[in-house]
Chain A
């Protein structure tokens, strides 16, 4: 259970999050919609404690993480996955090493078990055979899938994805969203995706929220959002 309450953040004089409040139920797949620059990434990074709010609360499993020190946050984050917009893979590591990194850091698994697990996940994200490649040798879509593998390798119960479809063509966008959907349903992950890809989001989300100017302007299930009066949403449906 993730609870966000009156989260407020400004950079200089620009208010990015204006007392935003919402909840995410366990196992739910929530999509945060918003135009580029609306603060989706900033919001997502608050949920994992990478940014501290000016005020407001982010409660994860009953614990307010905005009050934690970085050293405690590091521990909290081990149980969460985060898919960065451009993957943020280590460019000095191969795909295999990237995916294995969290396991090597935080578990005492044997080399052999790590190998089994990593190869499993890489197969799941359709990167079989690309283990030895470096991120610079991958296409954009492959990089995202490798990053997805790294984000879910710890079997975390919470996954955050920042713009998983950005920079991809329509077919690849569809594929990666479906892939995320499949994986998180299988792992029973609570998932928060930030996206401006409304069409794909509507297909996979349990619930969506639309943010603009630091506030939620529409929220609900895909069906509810389709009947929303919001002009930005209507533009997509008509």
Chain B
């Protein structure tokens, strides 16, 4: 009993600490103390790092969605609806969530490993010793960059995914190109787009927060870097899937 209680206390303390960490970040952003040259460097690195794999996964998802939905929709004689199904699935759910997973694996993991290595090699302490707050110097630019990069990647993923569906729909299912495009455009409304797009900001926040915080908490040498990196990735996955359920519910209540 006291064992569970102790764990519960530890958990609460951990969450509190993580919140203070985030508050520190927010403080610098509000004060406008954002190092834009660092942000640009990060945007570049994060973008380059994940763009290819995001395109690949999105194109494959779009294509597979089209293949599967064609099988079903064709039975009802409404194969042109494939376009709508692909576009809506991608825009409302799949692109935001899948891109976040890829982003976690590529960018989140790298951030934790980078900051974790700096932590165990005293580079974070050295930053403080030189009179610079490591949160301002290292965390703020990374988090701001994530916040800008992930939504961009999600839009890219939606476009590429729809194109993947188009290829299958037009060249394999025999839907005419103009029908496919028309169906796609008429299906995706602003609400559909924004109900998916809004989430990506939440995911970007969660992923970058977890990654930076776990990096800062890393201890135990190179072994620790590995452990904390895996932990950050697992935690990000969980937070993305679970929070997705709740925001989806909220968004549906307001936007339908």
Which A residues contact B (CB, under 8 angstroms)? 45, 48, 50, 70-71, 73-78, 80, 82, 84-86, 88-91, 101-102, 105-106, 150
Q: Which of B86-94, B119-127, B189-197, B201-209 contacts A (4 or more CB under 8 A)?
A: B119-127
**Smallest beta-carbon distance A110→chain B, Å:** 17
Contact B129 A82 (CB under 8 A): yes
**A105 with B130: in contact, given A86-B121, A88-B121 (CB under 8 Å)?**
yes
Rounded to whole angstroms, the CA-CA distance of A33 and B132 in the bound complex is 29
Complex interface: chain A residues within 8 A of B128 (CB) = 50, 70, 73-74, 77
Contact B131 A78 (CB under 8 A): yes
Query: Which residue of chain A lies nearest to B124 when distances are taken between CB atoms in the complex?
Result: A88
Complex interface: chain B residues within 8 A of A85 (CB) = 122
Complex interface: chain B residues within 8 A of A106 (CB) = 131
Query: Which residue of chain A lies nearest to B136 when distances are taken between CB atoms in the complex?
Result: A74
Rounded to whole angstroms, the CA-CA distance of A101 and B130 in the bound complex is 9
Complex interface: chain A residues within 8 A of B117 (CB) = 91
Contact B123 A90 (CB under 8 A): yes
Rounded to whole angstroms, the CA-CA distance of A101 and B134 in the bound complex is 13
Complex interface: chain A residues within 8 A of B121 (CB) = 86, 88, 91
Interface pairs A-B: 9 shortest CB-CB: A88-B126, A78-B131, A88-B122, A82-B129, A77-B131, A74-B131, A84-B122, A88-B123, A102-B130
19 A–B contacts, CB within 8 A, in A order: A48-B129, A50-B128, A74-B131, A74-B132, A77-B128, A82-B129, A84-B122, A84-B129, A86-B121, A88-B121, A88-B123, A89-B126, A90-B123, A91-B121, A102-B130, A102-B131, A105-B130, A105-B131, A105-B132
Contact A91 B131 (CB under 8 A): no
Complex interface: chain B residues within 8 A of A89 (CB) = 123, 126
Asked whether any CB of chain A lies closer than 8 Å to the CB of B17, the reply is no
Q: Which of the residues A45, A71, A77 comes within 8 Å of B130, measured between beta carbons?
A: A77
Contact B130 A50 (CB under 8 A): no
Contact B125 A88 (CB under 8 A): yes
Chain B 37-53: CB-based contact to A (< 8 A → 1; otherwise 0):
00000000000000000
Complex interface: chain B residues within 8 A of A86 (CB) = 121-122
Complex interface: chain B residues within 8 A of A105 (CB) = 130-132
Rounded to whole angstroms, the CA-CA distance of A75 and B133 in the bound complex is 10
Complex interface: chain B residues within 8 A of A84 (CB) = 122, 125-126, 129
Rounded to whole angstroms, the CA-CA distance of A102 and B132 in the bound complex is 9
Contact B131 A75 (CB under 8 A): yes
**Smallest beta-carbon distance B66→chain A, Å:** 43
Query: Which residue of chain B lies nearest to A76 when distances are taken between CB atoms in the complex?
Result: B131
Contact A91 B123 (CB under 8 A): yes
**Smallest beta-carbon distance B169→chain A, Å:** 46
Contact A77 B129 (CB under 8 A): yes
**Smallest beta-carbon distance A68→chain B, Å:** 13
Complex interface: chain A residues within 8 A of B132 (CB) = 74, 105
Complex interface: chain B residues within 8 A of A75 (CB) = 131
Rounded to whole angstroms, the CA-CA distance of A40 and B133 in the bound complex is 24
Complex interface: chain A residues within 8 A of B131 (CB) = 74-78, 102, 105-106
Complex interface: chain B residues within 8 A of A88 (CB) = 121-123, 125-126
Rounded to whole angstroms, the CA-CA distance of A106 and B131 in the bound complex is 8
Name the residue in A71, A74, A86, A150 with the highest tally of chain B Cβ atoms < 10 Å from its Cβ. A74
Contact B126 A74 (CB under 8 A): no
**Smallest beta-carbon distance A43→chain B, Å:** 15
Complex interface: chain B residues within 8 A of A48 (CB) = 129
Query: Which residue of chain B lies nearest to A153 when distances are taken between CB atoms in the complex?
Result: B130
**Smallest beta-carbon distance A66→chain B, Å:** 15
Complex interface: chain A residues within 8 A of B125 (CB) = 45, 50, 84, 88
Name the residue in A45, A89, A90 with the highest tally of chain B Cβ atoms < 10 Å from its Cβ. A90
Complex interface: chain A residues within 8 A of B118 (CB) = 90-91
Cβ < 8 Å to A, chain B residues 96-147? 117-118, 121-123, 125-126, 128-133
**Smallest beta-carbon distance B139→chain A, Å:** 15
Rounded to whole angstroms, the CA-CA distance of A76 and B131 in the bound complex is 7
Complex interface: chain B residues within 8 A of A78 (CB) = 130-131
**Smallest beta-carbon distance A198→chain B, Å:** 24
Complex interface: chain B residues within 8 A of A50 (CB) = 125, 128-129
